[in-house]
Structure 1
Amino acid sequence: MSTQSITVVGLGTGDVDQLTLGVWKKLQAAASEQAVLFLRTNDHPVVRMLDDEHIPYQTFDANYVAHQSFEQVYESIADELLRQAKEKQTEIIYAVPGHPMVAEYTVQLLKQRCPEAGIPLTLLGGESFLDQAFLRFGFDPIDGFQLLDATSLNRYTLNPQLQTVIGQVYDTYTASDLKITLMEAYPDDYPVVVGHALGVAGAEQIVEVPLYELDHIKGYGNLSLVWVPKSVEDKVHYRSFGRLHEIVSILRSPEGCPWDREQTHASLRKNLIEEAYEVLETIDEDDPDHMCEELGDLLLQVMLHAQMEEEIGTFTVYDVVATLNEKLIRRHPHVFGEHKAGDADEALVNWNAIKAEEKRSKGIDVEKQSVLDGVPRDLPGLMKAWKLQKKAATVGFDWSEVREVLNKVEEELGELREAMDSGQADAAAAKQEELGDLLFSIVNLARFLKIDPEEALAQTNRKFIQRFLYIEEQLRLRGLSFEQTDLSEMEKYWQDAKKMQK
């Protein structure tokens, strides 16, 4: 081996019998002073054999104490190895637990930096902890598995349909964080398996526990793994977006539901609106459980419309998700980019500027667009009036104070009275027009009062329902029907209900 070189060797998972002959010969080179041996850590069973054979080595255990994060530790190790390789006219051997290419960030750093520094790098494999995991946990990786790092795990990397092996479970704190993350995808009592020192005679421990007890196990260290068996339970797969897509596609298939197969975009149009309003109702009721259910019903409408397009090859629901993700990142440069936004108003300015640029990129002449463009045609009347007025106000077409708006409301009310009193043949059309003007002016008043007219009317609707239900209840308690009572009695109960609501 030439001078100024680095050779990385794998020490296997722990048992000395798992050490390869090639790696052992390379380690012996350090005893004959043909190389300098560095260990990432001396916390490995093979180190005892090095001591017994009087093979000299240095370790990087002090680096773990000197730095606050694992990334800093690994960066410092790579820096030191490169420095040693440049200064010493001999081979540098760097020994790591397991296999050099399995969960060894320092090796990845060396692969990147050695060519830049002109230092030859050689890798000699050892048995990785995966070999023992397949053997001791007893599953075949060909069926699909994922290897994850406990120190950088998140909900989005988990796939319950695969066997999951999780390494880097160094201590109880890491196990506790891992448990919390796994509970986002698995039931609290889901069976998981902890393996300590797999394949090491006299040290191996394999313990199965429910997930909520994962951090109760003792003995976590460098040789610890967690195995989460793949799930065949519906309740686990129900938490995945992929399963939802699969279910909707089955419902729309020839073997699926006759009703779902018959639906079109047009036939489901009213359902989408109704489900959106049912979600709003749960918000008004402050009912999280009901909200969870109704949000699901609303999501189903999105899935069905996307599935119809998938069937004719235009787009899939994953295209919908991808488009949304890309748009959210693009329109939030103050979060995902270099721009800054000190408050909500500044963030909105950024958002609108990006929207305008998007239109230009599509060949739309923003200068020729109406100020009122962008208000959906089919919005409910009160909401549409609100949005039209807000857009017009951005260019100064607005009342200057609320008193002027009140005067306009009174004016429109007077014009409605005149239309009602007129005996003209087209009185019905005139009354409708004047009523619309009155409602529009009331929306203007709501805008000046900073009150959403839809929410205000929804609140009054709920109040009306509660009071009317009280009237019905009082009549039932007295054995009366509406036909057996009169308006004055109902008005009495109405006033009683008003007092109870105060």
Structure 2
Amino acid sequence: MSPSITVVGLGSGDENQLTLGAWKTLQSADPLYVRTDRHPVIDYVTRNGVKVHPFDSLYEANDSFESVYEAIVDELLRLARNSSSGIVYAVPGHPMVAESTTRLLRERCPQEGVALTVTGGESFLDQAFSRFGFDPIEGFSLFDATALPASGAAVDPRMHALIAQVYDAHTASDAKLFLMSVYPDDYEVTVGHELGLAGRETIVTVPLYELDRLDGYGNLSLIWVPRTDAEAVRNRSFERLREIVDILRSPDGCPWDREQTHASIRKNLIEETYEVLETIDDDDPEAMCEELGDLLLQIMLHSQMEAETGAFDVWDVIAGLNEKLIRRHPHVFGDLGADDADEALRNWNAMKAEEKKRRGIDPQQQSALAGVPRDLPGLMKAYKLQKKAAQVGFDWERIEEVYAKVEEELAELKEAPEDQRLEELGDLLFAVVNLSRFLRIDPEEAIASTNGKFVRRFGYIESQLRLKGQKLDQTGLQEMEFLWQEAKKLSKNAGS
């Protein structure tokens, strides 16, 4: 007889939830192997003369749940191969609901020539639906408290959420943090302990922030998060943002949004980017949060315009980005190593070159200046062009040569006829950018700092004139220069 394993569900409560077929299978076992004897049915089984062999000792001998489950499956397969009549293995609830050992058995039994039979039992979901009182047809998500996704973004608040295997206060705390990225701290959630067990069942509703302060968590505990259409909750989801942008662009949406094209809002993308940069310079997290939202809106609008043509949608944008991040970080998601930032950057650039080859682009045939965006601001573009040229050896050797070049270009500008001044001024600015590169100073940051300094000092002039009851157009240059120098002294004393 070929080796075999029968997996049977013990149900979610006491013996009254056992199916007749499950009970007959349990009675036939000799012995009955069980993942854990911490289940209300086990006492009933042993009282009726069934010998039980639990695997609870493996929980103590292993460092993680996954290694426990693998050890149990290894032992079950060994026992099955040595048995002449097959073995019976019992698990809490339904074998196909949140039961990792069943999943592992389904993967390995065919490979090892072991016949597998799965006999259902009432799952904790049956009790959850009846005791919490919600209809699963409304939609629900099921999560394992010991293996929650990295982000609550996996939760759709328009569907009920159930979190099972909340063994203790620690896993309850993990569940709380997971849910808090979607729901407000005071959102009411319900915890159920030992659902369906007469005299032992406990159901309590608490605000989310109190979730890990409750007592009584154990093997038969789960959390129910009721569905909601509340805007305050839905507005924290990416799907709601996509839906809003879709509505704005729809025939019944906003007339202004409907009329926009890639070209008409092109400048908005640039402006919103610079507004984000301003909040970074100001170290203003609250403003940064708002401005990043405005920048994200531009991405959503451009994506929605293409979705309307069938070219791509925002999900394609996200998929492409995810794939690129994984592909270009082989030292994180692959087998390559990177001990420092320079090595990580080399990996990134190597993958970029490989991607170009796959698209039929030979990096060796490209200009050394390729890859610098055409529409970058002038100083930034000059800086990047010079860095590209320097990488292939086209660069000054000493900073003294750069200072001389700046002086040379300044002299040429002074001597240039009017029709050549634009070109000569550009040459001077390009030389100054080269100097900033040698000084390891970003020219955009330098001019931004000077712009800010100018605004502050000019603002001082205006405020002082207002105190005197004067206006700018009523003030001579000499007085304004005096106030400018005063502002300069004050800023130096203040360190700015």
Provide the residue aligned with 1:350 in structure 2. 347
CA contact (8 A) 2:194 2:201 kept: yes
Q: Do structure 1's residue 106 and structure 2's residue 101 form an aligned pair? A: yes
Deviation at 1:109, TM superposition (A): 1.4
Segment drifting more, 312-321 vs 47-56? 47-56
Deviation at 1:417, TM superposition (A): 1.1
Provide the residue aligned with 1:163 in structure 2. 160
Q: Distance in 1 between matches of 2:362 and 2:109?
A: 53
- Quick one: which amino acid aligns to residue 38 of structure 1? Y
Q: Say what the alpha-carbon RMSD is for the aligned residues.
A: 1.3
Provide the residue aligned with 1:436 in structure 2. 426
**How many residue pairs were aligned?**
490
Q: Secondary structure at the match of 2:21?
A: helix
Runs of 4+ that moved beyond 4 A: none
452, 461, 464: which is aligned to 2:454? 464
Q: Give 5+ residue unaligned stretches, structure 2.
A: none
Q: Distance in 2 between matches of 1:363 and 1:397?
A: 28
Q: Do structure 1's residue 447 and structure 2's residue 444 form an aligned pair? A: no
Provide the residue aligned with 1:5 in structure 2. 4
Provide the residue aligned with 2:82 in structure 1. 87
Deviation at 1:484, TM superposition (A): 2.7
Alignment of 1:93-492 (within 5 A): 93-154=88-149, 155=151, 156-419=153-416, 427-492=417-482
Deviation at 1:249, TM superposition (A): 0.9
Q: Distance in 1 between matches of 2:117 and 2:250?
A: 55
Q: Distance in 2 between matches of 1:36 and 1:66?
A: 22
Deviation at 1:157, TM superposition (A): 2.6
- Quick one: which amino acid aligns to residue 175 of structure 1? A
CA contact (8 A) 2:31 2:50 kept: no
Deviations 1:420-475 (A, max 9, x none): xxxxxxx3221111111110000000000000001100000001001111111111
Q: Distance in 1 between matches of 2:486 and 2:469?
A: 19
Deviation at 1:186, TM superposition (A): 1.3
Q: Distance in 2 between matches of 1:17 and 1:365?
A: 71
Deviation at 1:364, TM superposition (A): 2.1
CA contact (8 A) 2:2 2:115 kept: no
Q: Distance in 1 between matches of 2:316 and 2:295?
A: 18
Q: Secondary structure at the match of 1:7?
A: strand
Q: Distance in 1 between matches of 2:131 and 2:328?
A: 49
Provide the residue aligned with 2:24 in structure 1. 25
- Quick one: which amino acid aligns to residue 103 of structure 2? Q
CA contact (8 A) 1:11 1:23 kept: yes
Provide the residue aligned with 1:14 in structure 2. 13
Q: Distance in 1 between matches of 2:257 and 2:108?
A: 57
Q: Distance in 1 between matches of 2:466 and 2:479?
A: 13
Deviations 1:270-291 (A, max 9, x none): 1111111111111111101101
- Quick one: which amino acid aligns to residue 309 of structure 1? E
Provide the residue aligned with 2:62 in structure 1. 67
CA contact (8 A) 1:12 1:127 kept: yes
- 221 and 441 in structure 1: CA distance in 2 versus 1, 3 angstrom threshold: same
Deviations 1:97-138 (A, max 9, x none): 111111111111112222222222211111000001011111
Q: Distance in 2 between matches of 1:295 and 1:359?
A: 31
CA contact (8 A) 1:408 1:441 kept: yes
Q: Distance in 2 between matches of 1:277 and 1:115?
A: 59
Provide the residue aligned with 1:494 in structure 2. 484
Deviations 1:52-102 (A, max 9, x none): 223211111111111111111111111111111222323311111111111
CA contact (8 A) 1:167 1:226 kept: yes
Report the identity percentage: 66
Q: Distance in 2 between matches of 1:471 and 1:205?
A: 71
CA contact (8 A) 2:35 2:91 kept: yes
Q: Distance in 2 between matches of 1:272 and 1:20?
A: 62
CA contact (8 A) 1:36 1:91 kept: no
CA contact (8 A) 1:282 1:290 kept: yes
CA contact (8 A) 2:162 2:222 kept: yes
Q: Secondary structure at the match of 1:232?
A: coil
Deviations 1:314-355 (A, max 9, x none): 111111111111111111111111112222222222222222
CA contact (8 A) 1:471 1:490 kept: yes
- Quick one: which amino acid aligns to residue 117 of structure 2? T
Provide the residue aligned with 1:422 in structure 2. none
Q: Distance in 1 between matches of 2:86 and 2:367?
A: 73
- Quick one: which amino acid aligns to residue 151 of structure 1? T
Deviations 1:139-158 (A, max 9, x none): 11111111110111121432
Deviation at 1:9, TM superposition (A): 0.9
Deviations 1:134-189 (A, max 9, x none): 11111111111111101111214322221111111011111111111111121111
Q: Secondary structure at the match of 1:151?
A: coil
Deviation at 1:3, TM superposition (A): 6.7
CA contact (8 A) 1:307 1:316 kept: yes
CA contact (8 A) 1:196 1:224 kept: yes
Provide the residue aligned with 1:76 in structure 2. 71
Give the alignment's TM-score, normalised by structure 1. 0.95
CA contact (8 A) 2:190 2:204 kept: yes
Q: Give 5+ residue unaligned stretches, structure 1.
A: 420-426
Q: Distance in 2 between matches of 1:252 and 1:383?
A: 34
Q: Secondary structure at the match of 1:41?
A: coil
Q: Distance in 1 between matches of 2:421 and 2:491?
A: 35
CA contact (8 A) 1:36 1:90 kept: no
CA contact (8 A) 2:46 2:52 kept: no
CA contact (8 A) 2:2 2:114 kept: no
- Quick one: which amino acid aligns to residue 282 of structure 1? T
CA contact (8 A) 1:100 1:107 kept: yes
Deviations 1:14-67 (A, max 9, x none): 12111111111122223xxxx321111111111121232232111111111111
Q: Distance in 2 between matches of 1:463 and 1:18?
A: 76
Q: Secondary structure at the match of 1:414?
A: helix
Segment drifting more, 448-457 vs 69-78? 69-78
Deviations 1:369-406 (A, max 9, x none): 21112211111110111111111111111000111000
Q: Secondary structure at the match of 1:43?
A: coil
Q: Secondary structure at the match of 2:31?
A: strand
